Structure 1
Amino acid sequence: MQAIELTNNQEGWFTLVLLFSFVLIALLKLLKPKQLVGYSIAFFSPGFFQKKAEDFISIFTPFKLTLFAFSIIMISLVFYSYFNELLFENQGFQSFSKTLAAVFFYILTKYFIDIFLANVLALKENVNYFLQLKYGYMFTVCLLIFPILILNKYAIKSGYFLLSSFIILLIFRTLLILFNNKRLILGKLFYFILYFCTLEIAPLLILYKTTTT
């Protein structure tokens, strides 16, 4: 009898990416276990980022670089899992790699623009806490979406469930950022709206065009 292949090529590379992501989490636990727990429960522990309010928001540490890489993979997997049939003619690792590169470029560019504007406009002290929450909660969303990705891939298998879960987490993230920075936002409402349209909406349109060409 001919052996039955348990997984197809698409499921194979997807599983390997999930396993690599699990390895990254294990590495995070080895580097800073308390920090990993803190980011994982940050939605329910508002004091976690308050302790970091005076720290410079940097991703250039072993822990942050690993967490950044993990987050890029999670966002790319969510994006690919839902939009692969709509955006890509040939589904597979090559298409996922394209998505991964676009997401990496998008988030890294936003990070450098945020830091550049904060320093050039002398707003570092005013917006540092805002940036801590913005990127910190992004890491939290990605840590929480990881088990949902596994559940969706091997049990539920619904793109709508995955996307809905991701959107709910993003909405929760946005509300927490707004609530914790309400004085800054209300005091500079025009500039905040300008910032949101320029650095949050416009890059998404560029990302969409990049992955569909």
Structure 2
Amino acid sequence: MVWALHPRVYESKDWATLIFILALALIVIARTAFSSRFNDYIRLLVSDKYTKIYRDSSHLWNGFNILLFLVNLVSFSFFIQLVLDHYGLGEKKDWMLFTRIFTGLTVFILSKFLIEKIIAVTFDIEELIDEFNLQKVNFRTYIGLLLFPVSAIMYYGDYATNSLIIIIIGTLLLINLLTYLFYLKIYQNFVIGKLFYFILYLCALEIAPYYFIYYLITKN
């Protein structure tokens, strides 16, 4: 009798846990490497100290923002997948679906940023758009931090309901609206001088892309 020996392979199938841990590690790195900045950042919604200190557009793609941007991508990708799962349009445990959402979201944001830069240079409003993008990054990565534990709880606890999803989406839209109002308050003199181009920018790159995404999702 011949005994066939096969090596036992231990493989974690919980890919979501690994990604959540990696995202948490990024937050810890940001907190450790930029402790003073992080402490100011977490008070972003109640204090304007952070925006006053780091208002220069050179801060847009530094290490701190890149770390939080990656966390933001993870948070929103999971939330989108949970919403799709709740409405029967996907499966929350499908790692391939998460990969597609994460990749699509990354390409969308970076492509939108590149187009914005081209338009800003064309219409000579580069300074305005760079500072506006910095404010958007600040607030939207902040939203990603808030959404991170919510997505984790919803993923493992099956707490997703119509009411909860609507409340979360409504809160996200409200914070985005506050971002625009906050920016207009700070740079109102500069914006008024180039009001036509700024409105054109908002319609073309801040409203139209999301409308078309919504249209394609509901249409499909």
TM range (shorter): 0.7 to 0.9
CA deviations 1:126-175 (Å, max 9, x no partner) are 34432221111111111111122223233461143245224303312322
Q: Which residue of 1 aligns with 2:69?
A: 68
Q: Which residue of 1 aligns with 2:206?
A: 200
RMSD: 3.0
Amino acid aligned to 1:98: R
1:41-120 paired onto structure 2 within 5 Å: 41-59=43-61, 61-84=62-85, 85-88=87-90, 92-120=94-122
Q: Is the 8 A contact 1:75 1:142 kept in 2?
A: yes
Quick one: structure 1 residues 120 and 186, their matched pair in 2 at CA, closer, same or farther if it must change by over 3 Å? closer
Deviation at 1:187, TM superposition (A): 5.4
Deviation at 1:188, TM superposition (A): 4.7
Quick one: structure 1 residues 205 and 181, their matched pair in 2 at CA, closer, same or farther if it must change by over 3 Å? closer
TM-score (norm 2): 0.76
- With 37-46 and 177-186 compared, the bigger mean Cα shift is at 177-186
Quick one: structure 1 residues 200 and 83, their matched pair in 2 at CA, closer, same or farther if it must change by over 3 Å? farther
1:1-213 paired onto structure 2 within 5 Å: 12-59=14-61, 61-84=62-85, 85-88=87-90, 92-155=94-157, 157-160=159-162, 161-182=164-185, 183=188, 184=190, 188-205=194-211, 207=213, 209=216
Deviation at 1:185, TM superposition (A): 5.0
Bigger Rg, which one: 2
Structure with bigger RCO (C-alpha 8 Å, 6+ apart): 1
Amino acid aligned to 1:139: T
Partner secondary structure for residue 58 of structure 2: coil
Deviation at 1:26, TM superposition (A): 1.3
Partner secondary structure for residue 54 of structure 2: coil
Q: Is the 8 A contact 2:81 2:92 kept in 1?
A: no
- Structure 2 residue runs of 5 or longer lacking an equivalent are 1-12
Q: Is the 8 A contact 1:72 1:103 kept in 2?
A: yes
Partner secondary structure for residue 43 of structure 1: coil
TM-score (norm 1): 0.78
CA deviations 1:20-63 (Å, max 9, x no partner) are 2111111212321222233322111123112222333532x333
- Structure 1 residue runs of 5 or longer lacking an equivalent are 1-8
Amino acid aligned to 2:168: S
Q: Which residue of 1 aligns with 2:7?
A: none
Query: CA separation in 1, counterparts of 2:59 and 2:118?
Result: 12
Q: Is the 8 A contact 1:78 1:163 kept in 2?
A: no
Q: Is the 8 A contact 1:77 1:96 kept in 2?
A: yes
**Percent same amino acid among aligned pairs?**
24
Quick one: structure 1 residues 55 and 195, their matched pair in 2 at CA, closer, same or farther if it must change by over 3 Å? closer
